[in-house]
Structure 1
């Protein structure tokens, strides 16, 4: 009963109260692995990593085939920068649950942190094979390929992802960035605008569309979207500098026009 009350509270977002009930469930039954896993998971989210690790380690000792607890333990170990142990925990989770897209996703994040790019891409690809609508795994693939200069591959993955999840604005945004770098301005613009329509208050969407217009020479539109972006997030990294560069350029053009 304590476990179920805790779970209901956690589902409603009341973590502090949920912790109390989960703790009581574990006190009443010190081998209650599901209560340990859920409690460890909440503590992980609250960055109370030591206790989270103790609980999750205990859960997998009691029940060695508990895949979800192994994955959560891996996430905690990753946060504690104990990467080898984290990798081990993820693979143990996958051994006990063959089809585990979220675990492949987290494994990919670990490999990306270690600059093991091919391994990261393979892990994320596995996640999307098992769960074709795994938006985060698709997105990370696009961003990693983009950041490592593999624009053609990034574009191919982005198009594949959007065929499967056509209304995902974060995928539209990532692919729009890639197309902009490949100088496919018209298509990039269309995707940025679609992403903004779906999520109008994302400062980065406006900021990156402004960069596209800036590169493309549509300076008035660039100015407009820089201003929207800065209004939504005055601290947006890079946006303020880009905006100032654009304003200087516009002033110079006005002077030339006046002369």
Structure 2
């Protein structure tokens, strides 16, 4: 019997691995998606160093993307050490972690419940569901699959600890939990989920032996005392969760990712939360029209808010009523709700209303509900077993087919956002990114149309205003560019890029004094910005302040000795001042740095002729 069970577990595990590999095999040929992949890997100056002492230290102190997740950074550093700029390798690491997590989920559930087929169905749905394509395929979401692995590992080690509570086993659980927190703070709710698992399937409410029983000796052994002991057992986990949650909020705030209450009032966030809970369930059942970004609609229709809330209350009441006869329903349902709570937007990060990646761990709870309902039905009526098995196969294969279709949208940047723009409404992120694609392809007219749509959909979208301004610069429509950059500064007066572009555009409209003021602000706060100093020098030159202009051009060369235009401009100033030797040296360097530049070559010839004329005539 034991050998048969072992063969069964091995067979299901191999099948899970095969299904996952078949589904995600194509991602080895996918590239980077310049929607956070550039920030996380491709253009990150620290990650592209690979594993060094300095980059490892940076991983532990960095908050640049609004997360403190050093283990995730270390995984990216290791990947770059191995794969360099081969994006397929980075994708494949995500797939490998996801595959291991799916098999581990099956093993853990099977060990806890003794039901390999129900556990296998749960793990299979986790492995191949279309809602998980985003987490697995998107390199930037390494934090999802890595933290998901440690979530499942923590549950597995917790089960081992429960079977024989020792301090060593307890510490192993806490270590896995801590590593998960170092991957992504999504694990903040795991201690509460462990309490759910204490009720089912671990049955610890009857006799909750813990490794701290000697510290919690009670005269009476009541239900309340048992629950209290289980809660106290989780206190180190809850403490770490609280600290990690606070750190996550501070990191997001430092990155400017937290939406203010003025931008998105609390009532809109509370209204969106129940709608998102139901929307995820609907997308689980009907996983089509999935997008990488779902714009926040603002105030949801009241009927949708009330209806979603009533459905949540109704299902919650129903699973509580079934808790004695079907505890898996309550555990699965509350697993879903509790693990989803941190990402429901009460503390809003970004401008989205929901995200497929947020379902990576929460949907395990729903998959448990589905699998165990089918398991119970099969146990009650043996005649239905073939039909139930067929239903499970249809769910898994149907999910695989839809997931493979969803995968095709991740082949490149343009396809991803064309699809997002097609299946959502008023998607400012999709429009902006499609505009970026059009701009790179020199389809400036199309880019302008996309950027105008983006700012129409979200008038306070700074990036779209900047990009629209850049298009006007490309079209030499500098007055329109000035208006766009002024709007960007109105939205975000801190970021210096806004002021630099405004100063640059003002210069081309002839407003030299105002241009100089904007560029002066940039160099005062960013002294090593060579481009800002160069154009400030140009503005000073137009104002007739040649000494100040020369000073700025010299600063440019201090920062960037290979700036050809700065060499050329200093040469012109020196030549005008009668210092032809110095002018010739700078012109020669400019020509070396920019071979084929006709203007610089002419300036060099003129300076040489001037030098020739300065020589005294030879005596006959």
How high is the TM-score relative to the length of structure 2? 0.35
Distance apart, 1:69 and its partner CA: 1.8
**Aligned counterparts of 1:198 and 1:212: Cα–Cα separation in 2:** 19
Q: Which residue of 2 aligns with 1:74?
A: 435
Between 96-105 and 119-128, report the one with greater CA deviation: 96-105
Between 198-207 and 155-164, report the one with greater CA deviation: 155-164
Superposition pairs for residues 62-101 of structure 1, below 5 Å? 62-78=423-439, 79-81=441-443, 83=445, 85-101=446-462
Distance apart, 1:150 and its partner CA: 3.1
Q: Which residue of 1 aligns with 2:41?
A: 12
**Match 2:545 to one of 166, 177, 184:** 184
**Match 1:58 to one of 395, 414, 419:** 419
Distance apart, 1:170 and its partner CA: 1.0
Between 10-19 and 161-170, report the one with greater CA deviation: 10-19
Deviations 1:123-172 (A, max 9, x none): 11222333345444433333333334332332233223334434322101
**Match 1:231 to one of 588, 592, 605:** 592
How high is the TM-score relative to the length of structure 1? 0.75
SS of aligned partner of 1:217: coil
**Aligned counterparts of 1:114 and 1:90: Cα–Cα separation in 2:** 14
Does the 8 Å CA contact 2:291/2:424 hold for their aligned counterparts?
Answer: no
Q: Which residue of 2 aligns with 1:113?
A: 474
**Aligned counterparts of 1:89 and 1:103: Cα–Cα separation in 2:** 9
Q: Which residue of 1 aligns with 2:77?
A: none
Q: Which residue of 1 aligns with 2:555?
A: 194
Between 185-194 and 197-206, report the one with greater CA deviation: 197-206
Q: Which has the higher contact order (CA 8 A, sep 6+)?
A: 2
Structure 1: any 5+ residue segments left out of the alignment?
42-51
Distance apart, 1:245 and its partner CA: 0.6
SS of aligned partner of 1:33: coil
Deviations 1:207-255 (A, max 9, x none): 2221222233332221221122223333345211101111001101114
Summarize the Cα distance change of 1:68–1:187 in structure 2 as closer, same or farther, 3 Å threshold. Answer: same
Give the alignment's Cα RMSD to 1 decimal.
Answer: 3.7
Summarize the Cα distance change of 1:99–1:91 in structure 2 as closer, same or farther, 3 Å threshold. Answer: same
Does 1:33 find its partner at 2:292? Answer: yes
**Aligned counterparts of 1:189 and 1:124: Cα–Cα separation in 2:** 28
**Aligned counterparts of 1:224 and 1:80: Cα–Cα separation in 2:** 37
Summarize the Cα distance change of 1:166–1:125 in structure 2 as closer, same or farther, 3 Å threshold. Answer: farther
Distance apart, 1:193 and its partner CA: 1.3
Distance apart, 1:108 and its partner CA: 0.5
**Matched residue pairs, number?**
245
Between 180-189 and 109-118, report the one with greater CA deviation: 109-118
Summarize the Cα distance change of 1:106–1:6 in structure 2 as closer, same or farther, 3 Å threshold. Answer: closer
